[in-house]
Structures are given as structure tokens and as C-alpha cells.
Amino acid sequence: MKRKKINVAVIGATGYVGLDLLYLLSKHPRVNIKYLCAKKNVGKPIKYFDSRIKKKLPKISKINNILWKKINLVFLSLPSGEAQKIIKKNIKHENIKFIDLSADFRIENVNKYKYWYKKKHFAKNLIFKSLYSISEFVKDDIKKFRIIANPGCYPTSIQLPLIPLIKKKLIKLENISIDSKSGYSGAGKNFKKKFTHKNLNESVFAYGIKKHRHMSELDQEFGKASRSSVKYSFNPHLIPMFRGLLSSIYLELKNKSNIRKIHRELQRFHRKNKFVRIVKINKTIGTGNVINSNFCEISVCETRNKNKIVIFSAIDNLVKGASGQAVQNMNLIYKFPESMGLK
């Protein structure tokens, strides 16, 4: 029996995330890609931008060409501020669900969105009809929503180990230090313009100190998990590789906690989460094991101080940190096998 496919449109198809998303969707057995949309390069084939994509797909078109009644799901991989306008205009089409890979529906408080992203929100009445969706945390709820806010790459790598520990009250909620290093693809295709004269191909560059936009997600989700204030510092860096992300998270343990309890809780929480691997205590990890995959690998390690530990969390910033998690969320929405089309 031939299984029915869903019809999909991808808006913002030619950026790093959009291309990774198309590569995954082109191999997904339950997806029919109907539209690839971008502002530039209209009429060009997608193979022009990514030779990995072997399947014959529609040529790039403008959003105006979409026949919305024929679409089940829209992925939006756009700069912040753009997706909200498209969704607001087309939410009237009740047959469509939206997965937004920008920040437009991640932040529940519109004033905080404006503070962090320097943009007014034009679809604020839709925010509470959306769901912030790290896949491992929303499996029971995601089907109820039409707008899915795909999280940022840094928050994904940080929350997968931290949220379970915060909820179980195993760690102190102050003096948390998070040091994250990402491949330069995390800055987008225009990274050379954003970081002029920084020579990112040959150097490590710290940026967004004290004010990286992803802190807005961490503030919000840490607050929900703890129901109190979580005091942390977050320092991101771009490093001279294309993809991959490693977060080093330094924590103080509560008096009755220890590294084995931390490790056991992460194993327990993620035991049914196919794409999260908890390795042995004190095992060193890097991005090599997760590149081009939807996996998050987590290691819990001792430090020289008895009451302090460091947790390492490695993902591919373009896959688990963006396109792969979007496909995982799609699978959950439509009750496909969660790992379908992913590795």
C-alpha cells in the first residue's frame, strides 16, 4: 500500500540552513517538495547551490507563486522579522502548518523580542498559538499547534543537558558558565560582511558577549524549568571550521548531588530519545561524532573542584541545531517515525 505524502514548501531555500533542509527533505520518503522560494536567483535549479541534492526538484520561485491550498506544511528559513509576516498573512489557510526556523515565534514576550532583535512583532496574537519546540521536550504537545518555533543552535545544545537537571534540582542555579564554539556557518552566508577583517578562516573569534540573541531563549526556557532566576554567563565563539558546535557548561552541584546522580538523570531522561547520546562519565567528546547528523552527544566530566562539573554537548549546528530538528519536528507532527529521513 502506497503511503500518502505531505506537500511541502520551503521559503528561504538557498541559505546554509535552507539547503541542508532541502537535502534532508529530498530523501524523505513521505515528503513531496512542491515549492522552493527565495528572493533572488528565481528560475535557477537548486543543484546550482548544492550538488548534494540529486533529486529533481522545482526551480526557485517567488512566494507569490505558491498555491496555498495544495500545501500541508511550510518551512521558513528566513532572517528574523520576515517569517511572522508570511505566517500572519497565510494562517487563514487552515490546511497548513508552519515550521519557523527564525526567532519570530521563539520569544513569548513581544517587548523582549523587540529588545533582543530590534524589530517590532506584527503577529503577536499568534505567538501563544505557537510552540517552542526542542523535539525531545514536546513530543506530547507538538501535534496540537500549527506554528512551530524551531530553536536556535546554541540553545539546543545547552538545553538538552541542562533542562532535565534544572527540573530535578540537582544543580545550583547561579554561577553557571557556558562557553560555546560554533563553525562559521552559524553566522550565515553573509558572515564575511558581519565580521569584516576578522579572518574567521584562520582564527577563533568571540562575539555577542553579554548580549547574544540566543540568551533570550535561554532566559525564557530556564525560567520555565526552574520557576526562578537562573544566573548564568554565555560566551559564544566562531571557530575556523564550517559546521559543528560544542558547548562547555560549568556547573556547581547541590549538596546532596554528585556526578553519578547527574549522569544517571541524563540517562533516565533521554533513554527514549533516539538522537541524544549520553556517553560514559569523564569521556572526552568533540564535534566529529555528530557532523552531518541529527545527534546530540553529551558527556559529564569531573573538574579539580569536588562540587563542580563540566558538561560537554556536541551537535551539528546546521542539522540538530536547525534543519534536522525541523525535520524531526515534522515527523512528530505527522506521526511519522521520529528518525525518518534523518541519521
CATH number of the domain that residue 15 is part of: 3.40.50.720
**pLDDT confidence band for 332 (50 / 70 / 90):** very high
Q: Evaluate if residue 1 carries a pLDDT over 70.
A: no
Residue 339 lies in a domain: no
Residue 343 lies in a domain: no
Does 94 share its domain with 204? no
- Identify whether the C-beta of residue 84 lies closer than 8 Å to the C-beta of residue 58: no
Does 161 share its domain with 287? yes
Q: What is the pLDDT of residue 195?
A: 58
What sections of 187-287 are H helices per DSSP? Answer: 191-194, 215-226, 259-269
- At 97, give phi and psi (nearest 5°): -110, 155
Rounded to two decimals, the pTM is 0.95
Does 139 share its domain with 180? no
Residue 116 in grid coordinates? 533582543
Does 31 share its domain with 141? yes
Does 136 share its domain with 15? yes
Q: Which domain holds residue 38?
A: 6-151+321-333
Based on the number of CB atoms within 10 Å of its own CB, is 56 exposed (0-12), middle (13-18) or buried (19 or more)? exposed
Does 163 share its domain with 91? no
- Identify whether the C-beta of residue 273 lies closer than 8 Å to the C-beta of residue 136: yes
Residue 142 lies in a domain: yes
Does 237 share its domain with 274? yes
| Catalytic annotation present for 37 | no
Does 185 share its domain with 277? yes
Tens-digit pLDDT profile for residues 225-270 = 998 889 999 999 999 999 999 999 999 999 889 999 999 999 999 9
Does 202 share its domain with 299? yes
CB environment 59-91: b (16+ within 10 A), e (fewer): ebbebeebeeeebbbbbbbbebbbbbebbbeeb
Q: What is the pLDDT of residue 188?
A: 66
Number of domains in the chain: 2
- Identify whether the C-beta of residue 321 lies closer than 8 Å to the C-beta of residue 245: yes
Does 116 share its domain with 162? no
Out of 37, 153, 296, 301, the active site residue is 153
Q: What is the mean pLDDT of residues 29-41?
A: 95
CATH number of the domain that residue 162 is part of: 3.30.360.10
